[in-house]
Chain A
Amino acid sequence: MTATKAPTEPPQQQRAVRRPGDRIFAGGAKGSGIFILVVLAGVAAFLISEAIPALTAPAEDIPDGEGLAAYIGPLILGTLLGAIIALLVATPLAVGIALYVTYYAPRRFAAVMGYVIDLLAAIPSVVYGFWGLAVLAPTLVPFHVWAADNLSWIPFFAGPASTSGRTMLTVGLVLAVMILPIISAIAREVFSQAPALHREAALALGATRWEMIKMAVLPYGKSGVIAGAMLGLGRALGETMAVAIILSGGAGATVNLISNSNPSTIASNIALRFPEATGIGVNTLIASGLVLFVITLAVNMIARWIVNRRADFSGAN
């Protein structure tokens, strides 16, 4: 820090001729930075202030009449369930894609494909919702039937199978498609930064490509993949429209992934009920939003912490 201070802070005798323009500009820049922190604090403060009426209200005033915990509990379960399915499906695929694009595909093709996968991330979530409802859900119905017939001993596949495919399983898979580009973008970044000397040394010692990746690339990129997965998890937890469109939700807490009655997720529940909510209902929804905010904030902070820790390490290379 002491070394970088010199150019930014002028020496003592120059401070006298600091022009007002300088002071205004520097103040404006600093003010904007602080303003962002204020906004973030404001998000928390306004949500809390609007959530308080729901926190203090008697249990029977909350929609469904069983209190706030009973209202939000199943929603939290649904949110976690969908996000975890998405994470389990998307992470291995994303690592595969990242490896393919960085070390397997022909150079030119890889650049184009990297761009195409980035475009996947830009597609609005409402469109994913449309696609999930119109294409993926009907396509998955046979699998739902098969799982209910053959796997019903696993609680997740207890059945009865949904005939529309609008289940937590479908939602999880759509979320997986949505977070795939996020995870693979970060994985690609760290994989391509694996030190060339390590890679070449491995190859020079006669390692096959996979052995080179196993020895030089994966250990280097591990924390990057974890951080990417956490960021993807954050996105999947907060995803609203795709879930709101696809899921036929609203039932209580259940881990059954393939039936017609699924727990809704926090975000989609807000989107579905907010336009018609009044009075304490609005406060309840905002309270659930506060819970979502806290969960995603925690996930993102952990992810960023891992990323930053890695950045400190890689600075040495």
Chain B
Amino acid sequence: MSTATQPAPGTTAPQRGPVRIDRRLPRLAPLGLYLAGITLGAGVSALTGFSVTSTVVYGVILGTLAVYVASRAVEGRRKASDRLVTCLVTTAFGIAMIPLVSLVYTVLDKGLERLDADFFSMSMFRVVGEGGGAYHAIVGTVIITLLATLISVPIGLMTAIYLVEYGTGRLKRGITFFVDVMTGIPSIVAGLFAFALFTLLFGNDFRAGVMGAVALSVLMIPVVVRSCEEVLKLVPNELREASYALGVPKWRTVVKVVLPTAIAGLGTGVTLSVARVVGETAPLLITVGLITGTNFNPFDGRMATLPVFAYYQLTQPGTATQAFIDRAWTAALLLIILVMALNVVARLISRFFAPKTGR
């Protein structure tokens, strides 16, 4: 307040009273100052060889500084630090948006090249250069993900039912805790587990899609349990009690009353957990591997999957390098589309299958 020599614009006689609103920056002033700072930043950047990165860096620093100094001079220390934090927080948000935008743009830019009919209808069987597609990988991803879902959903759902409807005491707390811990298992460790399990059971050279499905299940089960548990908890107790009062056994209450009520949430939870594992690469890389042909049998032999296919196309291109890299980016684009689609489906499920409220 000590340097307050400027009178606030447009004020004649500041009102005296319990609330003093005598000195304020005009509403758009901070934004203007910030933009001025960025312009200045572009100028400074131009002095040292212009680049977008340095413009943004200098601009953000100068803009923040301009807002802070102006606010400090006019509005005082407290308001100035408030504005400073607003600048910082907004900047943090802006910085976080950069990689997202850049990533989506890059994948679209490079992936659209090969997003054609061939990509969906051809495998890489006997393809060494251009052409070819990811048909075999798409088939493999669908089969392995379905298999993982078939393993995970019954176990996850029953566990959620146990936690909500039956569980008591230490076992319940133990399961909740370790399910939480399990969500943090690195995907590669899940892959190693599946590898070790099947090696002990069937010998060293056994490779099959089911290994990948087991590895994905280890990652998927805890997600299913957590989301189903949250949803089942939301089912009102009155429904259960009404059912018990009619003499319905507990298990029928769960199957006929609790689950139908929660079906929308369960569908959403399962879909999101599928979205979580469909792009997993590492566990499939070390269990299922990759082949160039199409394999429909998940219990015998290697299978191709979309993420592993993308990885090998990029890191081990053949002689026609560009063709391989194009296929890799298209596979990456397809993966993102798949994940986004699953997320949208999950949203739609929760919207359309939500229990009807009212009559």
B-binding residues in A (CB < 8 A):
1, 4-5, 7-8, 19, 21-22, 24-26, 28-37, 39-40, 42-43, 46-47, 49-50, 92-93, 95-97, 99-101, 104-105, 113, 116-117, 119-120, 122-131, 133-136, 139, 142, 177, 180, 184, 208-211, 213, 231, 234-235, 237-241, 244-245, 267, 270-271, 274-275, 285-286, 289, 292-293, 296-297, 299-301, 303-304, 307-308
Q: Give A274 to B343 CA distance when docked, in angstroms.
A: 32
Contacts of A105 in B (CB 8 A): 93
Known: A32-B162, A130-B107. A124 touches B280 (CB 8 A): yes
Q: Give A22 to B53 CA distance when docked, in angstroms.
A: 65
Which residue of B85, B93, B166, B168 is within 8 Å of A97 (Cβ)?
B93
Contacts of A292 in B (CB 8 A): 186, 188-189
Which residue of A26, A127, A184, A244 is within 8 Å of B250 (Cβ)?
A26
* A124 and B159 contact, CB distance less than 8 A: no
* B78 and A271 contact, CB distance less than 8 A: no
* A120 and B100 contact, CB distance less than 8 A: yes
Contacts of B251 in A (CB 8 A): 19, 21-22, 24-26
Known: A1-B168, A99-B89, A119-B343. A126 touches B310 (CB 8 A): yes
Q: List 20 A-B contacts (CB under 8 A).
A: A21-B251, A25-B254, A37-B178, A93-B95, A96-B92, A100-B89, A123-B103, A124-B280, A127-B332, A127-B335, A136-B99, A238-B184, A238-B185, A270-B188, A270-B192, A275-B289, A292-B189, A296-B184, A297-B185, A307-B180
Taken residue by residue from 202 to 219, chain B's Cβ proximity to chain A (1 for < 8 Å, 0 otherwise) reads as 000000000000000010
* A40 and B335 contact, CB distance less than 8 A: no
Contacts of A134 in B (CB 8 A): 106, 110
Write the chain A residue with the least CB distance to B277: A124
Which residue of B88, B252, B276, B314 is within 8 Å of A96 (Cβ)?
B88
Write the chain B residue with the least CB distance to A231: B184
Contacts of B103 in A (CB 8 A): 123, 127-128, 131, 135
Contacts of B190 in A (CB 8 A): 43
Known: A99-B89, A208-B82. A237 touches B186 (CB 8 A): yes
Known: A8-B166, A97-B96, A122-B275. A43 touches B188 (CB 8 A): no
Do most interface residues of chain B lie in helix, strand or loop, or is the interface mixed? helix
Stretch at the interface among B4-12, B128-136, B193-201, B291-299: B193-201
B328 → chain A closest CB, angstroms: 7
Known: A134-B106, A238-B189, A274-B286. A116 touches B100 (CB 8 A): yes
Q: Give A244 to B279 CA distance when docked, in angstroms.
A: 16
Most buried by B among A7, A209, A234, A241: A241
Which residue of B91, B100, B175, B332 is within 8 Å of A37 (Cβ)?
B175
Does chain A have a CB within 8 A of B285? yes
Taken residue by residue from 85 to 125, chain B's Cβ proximity to chain A (1 for < 8 Å, 0 otherwise) reads as 11011111101100110110011001000000000000000
Does chain A have a CB within 8 A of B336? yes
Contacts of A43 in B (CB 8 A): 185, 189-190, 193, 218
Contacts of B289 in A (CB 8 A): 275
Taken residue by residue from 279 to 307, chain B's Cβ proximity to chain A (1 for < 8 Å, 0 otherwise) reads as 11110011001000000000000000001
Which residue of B175, B185, B310 is within 8 Å of A296 (Cβ)?
B185
Write the chain B residue with the least CB distance to A278: B204
Does chain A have a CB within 8 A of B340? yes
Contacts of A133 in B (CB 8 A): 314
Please list the 7 inter-chain residue pairs (A to B) with the smallest Cβ-Cβ separation, ordered nearest first.
A238-B186, A124-B279, A96-B92, A25-B251, A300-B184, A32-B158, A29-B162
Known: A96-B92, A127-B332, A286-B192. A33 touches B186 (CB 8 A): no
Known: A93-B96, A299-B184. A124 touches B192 (CB 8 A): no
* B159 and A32 contact, CB distance less than 8 A: yes
Q: Give A270 to B281 CA distance when docked, in angstroms.
A: 13
* B102 and A135 contact, CB distance less than 8 A: yes
Contacts of B171 in A (CB 8 A): 30, 33-34
Does chain A have a CB within 8 A of B329? yes
* A97 and B92 contact, CB distance less than 8 A: yes
Does chain A have a CB within 8 A of B249? yes
Told that A123-B103, A274-B286 touch, could you supply 10 new A-B pairs with CB distance under 8 A? A8-B165, A26-B166, A37-B174, A40-B182, A50-B200, A101-B93, A124-B280, A239-B186, A270-B286, A293-B186
* B102 and A122 contact, CB distance less than 8 A: no
Q: Give A184 to B100 CA distance when docked, in angstroms.
A: 15
Q: Give A180 to B158 CA distance when docked, in angstroms.
A: 32
Contacts of A142 in B (CB 8 A): 51, 53
Does chain A have a CB within 8 A of B35? no
* B155 and A32 contact, CB distance less than 8 A: yes
Q: Give A83 to B95 CA distance when docked, in angstroms.
A: 20
Write the chain A residue with the least CB distance to B279: A124
